Structure 1
Amino acid sequence: MNGQDARDHQRGGAAGEVTTSGEHSCEHGHGHGRDRAPEHGHDHPAGIRGWLHEVFVPHSHDAADSIDDALEASSQGIRTVKISLVVLGVTAVAQLAIVAVSGSVALLADTIHNFSDAMTAVPLWIAFVLGRRAPTRRYTHGYGRAEDLAGLFIVAMIALSAVVAGVESIRRLADPQPLDNLGWVLGAGIIGFAGNEAVAVYRIRIGRRIGSAALVADGLHARTDGFTSLAVVLGVIGVWAGFPLADPVVGLLITAAILILLWGTARDVGRRILDGVDPALVDRAEDTLGHVDGVNDVTDLRLRWSGHRLNLQAALGADPATTVAETDALTARADHHLRHTLPNLGRVDLTVISSQPHRT
């Protein structure tokens, strides 16, 4: 109902259904006492097992640090993509210089592969730009889902990398080929690994900060390319040590690692597309709303990601005698507390309904 209808309906003091929605930022930070929801944590494996889990199947970190301004988050994503393109471009150019000196056809193919992989960031760049556009009458929810489409493309590229690496490794096992200019190839592999891993760490860190599953996936894609370069390094070392089949064997191991990484990436991107969220976020939202003064219960709580923005809707039960002014104050408090406890919160739709307080 509109504002006037709500006032007419509640003039006698009975609480009706009043909805508030919006997206704003809180420019001040402070604690909320009992209204503050507990911090969210995750149990990760410890030691070497934990490190391997973080490298190959990193947690999606839906509950990342809060960024209130959607445009600023998109700008960070675009800036990350630009810097990544420069770093990967420099890496590929350095490898190309080694190709010119060594004349290695295999290294030339790997360099071309790195150039093409660097360009996979372009769809993500386009997605971030689209995500900044205002909703239209056709796309009433905006264009945030463009990030999820870019994430699907990146997952496909990771799968392609696994197929190419696996086929090439099997081919070399069946028909071993001597490696020439091992010193130059080793140097190119180190450059490729360093450049791709630096980009991977940067993309994953920023992607988690702004809540972008697609940017995290793109970081993992760069990591797969780094693994491929690392396989070259380990293969050269193995050949020097007297194991000529070390190169294809290591290649198969790297292929297995890429497949494990692919599973984690496809899982996170797929969950976003199906409107899946970390259940801990639902718990945090429910706990936060339940501690707001005047709220008797919380029902119909729903969360969904739109790109890197988290949207929320819920029905708040309040005393039937709650006035319109008190309802407005209640929803304002609830919105305020939510934005201090949930990450990257965008649109919030809160409906206040009549509800008796729970008796203990």
Structure 2
Amino acid sequence: MSPDTSDSHDHPSPTPSQAPHEDHDDHDGHDGHDGHDIDHGHAHGAHDHEHATGIKGFLSSLFRPHSHDAADSIDSALESSAEGIRALKISLVILGLTALAQLVVVLFTGSVALLADTIHNFSDALTAVPLWIAFVMVRRAPTRRYTYGYGRAEDLAGVFIVAMIALSAAVAGYESVRRLLDPQPISNVGVVLAAGVLGFVGNEAVALYRIRVGRKIGSAALVADGLHARTDGFTSLAVAGGAIGVMAGFPLADPIVGLLITVAILVVLKSAARDIYRRLMDAVEPELVDTAEAALRTVPGVQDVESLRLRWLGHRLRAETDITVENTLSVAAGHAIAVAAEHELLHAVPRLDAATVHVNPSHGEGADPHEVMAHHQ
């Protein structure tokens, strides 16, 4: 049978309540554009065992990923969300321990400067909560109102994190200028130095971990949160640098280093804001588009790729493409090519959840099959 009109092949986005494609059981070991392996997992079947809950379950989830055998592995989208949540849990514990250690020193020394830095670390640790909520929301199934799911919650959390980085830059700059115009003596310089070093080490460890996991799972918001932790480490480093300057007999070193750190925070802010802006504007890496188009052109029966669009929803990708096939093919044959094209995309493009493949017949001697749509172009 030769179709007179184009044949389309649409697949909805996989959700936690829907089983993914049955022919994807070999989707493991994909090479991501950032050098990490990406898994297109399987449906998460019913459990025949129970998992620890409460404090024991929380501590267990920090260091042991939730996993099953090959016949009962969880969907890759859920797995990446769980990995993001686990990164937030671990980093919150590290920041909490850092702040608690500083608090103990405060109680024994009475250092006001150290108390301020401790409160700062406690409050900034809580900025991970909106991102944690976003990762939980991403796992919810699409609804009749939110038909694409809740992936955008990550980007909204990213906007909040960028705002917090901007606030950190504003506060650091204001305090540095104020101390430069009205120098204040620093007491317990040795304690302040130790506190600054401790704060920097704790925050930088969290920054490295969040950025690594964020890049691995494709979460711009988690990367931005890692950059936020880095700005907090810079703030602590400014405290330590100022203390060293004061010990060396140069009291203005404290506000001068603070101004330099403010500039560093602004550089971090630019990077984080750029990444979140691109996600909100549906920007993708051009290399991903090249990879997807090349994969489509390798599918037998695909004569041309007329259009190709990719977009991020949280830390997962969706694709839409129009391909051209021979106009004498039957509907069933065109559909088979569409299925093969989607299957190839899922193999080739890291973190791709679903693809909508529209099949266009090649233009023969007859009328253009899209002529009826011409006035909508």
The answer, yes or no, to whether TM exceeds 0.5 is yes
For residues 268-307 of structure 1, what are the structure 2 equivalents within 5 Å?
A: 268-307=275-314
Alpha-carbon separation, structure 1, partners of 2:248 and 2:179: 18
* TM-superposition CA deviations, 1:42-86 (whole Å, max 9, x none): xxxxxxxxxxxxxxxxxxx5x864242111111111111111111
Find the partner of 1:71 among 78, 98, 102.
Answer: 78
Alpha-carbon spacing, 1:81–1:318, altered in 2? closer, same or farther (3 Å)? same
User: Unaligned stretches of 5+ in structure 2?
Assistant: 15-19, 41-75, 365-377
Q: What residue is the counterpart of 1:242 in the other structure?
A: 249
Among candidates 284, 295, 320, match of residue 313 of structure 1: 320
Tell me the distance in 1 between the aligned counterparts of 2:159 and 2:261.
Answer: 22
Aligned residue-pair number: 321
Query: Who is 2:271 aligned against?
Result: 264
Distance 1:204 1:161 in 2: 19
Once the two structures are TM-superposed, the CA of residue 339 in structure 1 deviates from its matched residue by 1.8
* Partner secondary structure for residue 21 of structure 1: coil
1:27 is the counterpart of 2:17: no
C-alpha RMSD of matched pairs (Å): 2.1
Bigger shift: 166-175 or 66-75?
66-75
**Greater Cα shift, 120-129 or 226-235:** 226-235
1:255 to 217, 242, 262: 262
Q: 1:154 aligns with which of 150, 158, 161?
A: 161
* Paired amino acid for 2:151: G
Residues 92-101 or 220-229, more deviating: 92-101
- In the alignment, the residues of structure 2 paired with residue 150 and residue 264 of structure 1 have an alpha-carbon distance, to the nearest angstrom, of 16
Pairing 1:225–2:223 present: no
Q: TM-score, normalised by structure 1?
A: 0.84
TM-score, normalised on structure 2?
Answer: 0.81
Identity among equivalent pairs (%): 60
For residues 177 and 169 of structure 1, what CA distance do their matches in structure 2 show? 11
Report the Cα offset of residue 109 of structure 1.
1.1
Question: Whole-Å Cα distance in 1 between the matches of residues 78 and 28 of structure 2?
Answer: 24
1:174-189 → structure 2 map (5 Å cutoff): 174-189=181-196
- Deviation of residue 336 (structure 1)? 2.1
CA distance in 2, matches of 1:299, 1:111: 57
In 2, the alpha carbon distance for the partners of 1:242 and 1:206 equals 42
2:335 aligned with 1:328: yes
Question: Where in structure 1 are there 5+ consecutive unaligned residues?
Answer: 1-10, 42-60
Q: Which segment is superposed worse, 125-134 or 324-333?
A: 324-333
- Compared with structure 1, are the counterparts of its residues 275 and 102 closer, same or farther at alpha carbon in structure 2 (3 Å cutoff)? same
Q: Secondary structure at the match of 1:305?
A: strand
Deviations 1:74-111 (A, max 9, x none): 11111111111111111111111111122111211111
Bigger RCO of structures 1 and 2 (CA < 8 A, at least 6 apart): 1
